[in-house]
Amino acid sequence: MGRGRQKAKHTKVARELKYFSPATNYSELERELASGHLSEEDRWADLADKYNVDDEDSDDDEK
């Protein structure tokens, strides 16, 4: 494929992505925002639990 065709294809894809607007589920968004009562520390702890990350163990491994 020549450079002109390739550029045209990328431009077309970029334009489609730029103007794409998916349907928004406002009730789900409202529920997610309303549940934001956790402190920043609690959010990090939840993420650590979710991804099974333990900072204390990782420090021991480096020594």
pLDDT tens, residue by residue, 51-63: 775 555 555 555 4
d(CA 20, CA 27): 21
Structure tokens belonging to residue 51: 């991804």
pLDDT tens, residue by residue, 2-58: 789 999 999 999 999 898 888 888 888 888 788 766 666 777 777 777 777 555 555
Structure tokens belonging to residue 52: 């099974």
Q: For residue 23, is it left (φ>0), alpha (ψ between -120 and 50) or beta?
A: beta
**Residue 53 in contact with residue 46, Cβ under 8 Å?**
no
Burial of 17 (0-12, 13-18, 19+ CB in 10 A): exposed
